Amino acid sequence: MKKLINKTENLVKESLAGVAAAHADLVKVHYDPNFVVRIDAPVRGKVAIISGGGSGHEPMHGGFVGRGMLDAACPGDVFTSPTPDQMEAATKAVDGGAGVLHIVKNYTGDILNFEMAAELCQAAGIEVAAVVIDDDVAVKDSLYTAGRRGVGTTVLAEKICGAAAERGDNLAKVVDVCRKVNANGRTMGMALTSCTVPAAGRPTFEISDTEMEIGIGIHGEPGRERMALKPAKEIVEMMANVILSDLPFKSGDQVIVMVNGMGATPLMELYLVYNELNKICQAKGITIVRQLVGNYITSLDMAGCSITLLKVDEELLTLWDAPVHTPALRWGV
C-alpha cells in the first residue's frame, strides 16, 4: 500500500488538521468527536444543514462546509459511518434556532446513526429533519445498503439546499427542496481499478488489467457487471442509457450534470467523458445548463468516474447559481 500518511489510525484527524489550517477563514474543526463547522456557526435564524459519512470521499463532505452550502460535516473513519455523537455534537453546534436538516446518503449505518443523533437532539429541543439521498441507478440493493445507494446527487443537494437555507427558507421548505433534488437526480458510476482502504492495506477488490466494473459503489461495492474495458464512448452510452431511462429524462429537460472522478482519474479523461455525455444529451434534446467536471465525491485512489444528471426547474437553477464559498466549491464571492 502506497499512501502519503503517517499512522493509519491518525489519518482522518491529521487530514482534518490540514483542512483546519488551510481553511481557517471558512471552517473550524472540532475533535473527539470529529466534525467540521462553518466559521460563523451557528447562524441565528437560519436552517442549518449537516451531512456526513465515511471519510475517503473528499472533498465530500468537509470540503462543502461554508457559506451557501453545509453548516457542518461529520467525517467517520475511512468508509465507515460517523458515530451518533458526532452528528449530535455537530447538530447542537450549528443549530441557530430554525432547525437542522440532516442530508444522509443511503447507507444503512449512516441512516441508523443519523437517526439516533436526531432523536438525542430532538430530546434536547432542537428541531431536526432528515432527507435520505438514494440516487444510484446501478443496483437495487447492495453491500451496506437496502435500496439504492446515495451518491453524486448528494453533492448537488448540499449546494442547492445550502442556498435555500441561506436565503431564509424554513426547515419544511428546505426539506422539500432536498426531496425535490433527490427525486430528480440520478447517478451511475464505474471503476477501472479498485481503491485501497488504508486500514486494509490491499485493494478492496481484484480486477484484471483488461476489465472494468460498471455500476460500482463509492466504497468499491460490486456494481452491475464486470466486463472487458471498452472505449469511453461506449462506456458513457451504457451509463447514460440507464440514467436517462430511469427518471426518465426527456427532450426539453434542463439538467445540471456532474462528471465526477473517483480519485485517480486524470481530468483530461473526465472532460472526454463529458464530451461524450454532452453529445448524447444533445441528441436527445436534453440541455445541460450547468456542470461540474472534476473530483467531488471520490473513492480514495480508485480510477473511474460517475455521471450525475439532475433535472432542474427555475427554482433549482436559481439556488444552484446562488453564491457559495467552501473549500471545494466557490462562486459568486
CA dihedral sign of residues 184, 277, 275, 190: positive
Binding mask 215-254 for a second copy (x = CB under 8 A): --------------x-xxx-x-------------------
* Residue where the block lists cell 439521498: 133
Q: Are 190 and 211 in contact (CB under 8 A)?
A: no
**Residue 57 annotated among the catalytic residues of the structure:** yes
Question: Quick one: angle between helices 108-123 and 84-94, nearest 10?
Answer: 50
Give me the catalytic one of 23, 61, 102, 219.
219
Of 24 and 112, the one with the shorter C-beta distance to a second copy is 24
Q: Which of 73, 111, 280, 293 binds a second copy (CB under 8 A)?
A: 293
Of 111 and 303, the one with the shorter C-beta distance to a second copy is 303
In angstroms, give the least distance from the CB of 181 to a second copy.
Answer: 21
* Residue where the block lists cell 443511503: 106
Stretch that binds a second copy, among 36-44, 108-116, 174-182, 285-293 (CB under 8 A): 285-293
Residue 270 binding a second copy, by CB under 8 A: yes
Of the candidates 194, 182, 248, 243, the residue with the CA atom closest to the CA atom of residue 218: 194
Strand partners, 185: 310
Residues of span 43-82 touching a second copy by CB under 8 A: 55-56, 58-59, 63
Q: Distance (Å, rounded) from C-alpha 270 to C-alpha 319? A: 25
Binding mask 171-200 for a second copy (x = CB under 8 A): ---------------------xx-------
Helices (H), ranges, 30-107: 84-94
Of 169 and 253, the one with the shorter C-beta distance to a second copy is 253
Q: Distance (Å, rounded) from C-alpha 143 to C-alpha 149? A: 9
Task: With CB under 8 A as the rule, give the number of residues binding a second copy.
Answer: 59
Q: Which of 275, 284, 317, 321 binds a second copy (CB under 8 A)?
A: 275
In angstroms, give the least distance from the CB of 202 to a second copy.
Answer: 11
Stretch that binds a second copy, among 4-12, 32-40, 97-105, 116-124 (CB under 8 A): 4-12
**Residue 219 annotated among the catalytic residues of the structure:** yes
Stretch that binds a second copy, among 40-48, 102-110, 241-249, 272-280 (CB under 8 A): 272-280
The C-alpha torsion from 123 through 124 and 129 to 134, rounded to 10°, is -80
In angstroms, give the least distance from the CB of 83 to a second copy.
Answer: 19
Give me the catalytic one of 23, 30, 57, 325.
57
Q: What are phi and psi of 208, to 5 degrees?
A: -75, 170
Q: Is the peptide bond before 75 cis (omega within 30 degrees of 0)?
A: no
**Coil vs helix vs strand at 20:** helix
Scored b (16 or more CB within 10 A) or e, 134-166 reads: bbbbbbeebebbeebbbbbbbbbbbbbbbbbbb
Interface residues toward a second copy, by CB under 8 A:
2-7, 11-12, 14-19, 21-22, 55-56, 58-59, 63, 192-193, 209, 212, 229, 231-233, 235, 263-275, 278, 288, 291, 293, 295, 298, 300-301, 303-305, 327, 330-333
Catalytic residues: 57, 219
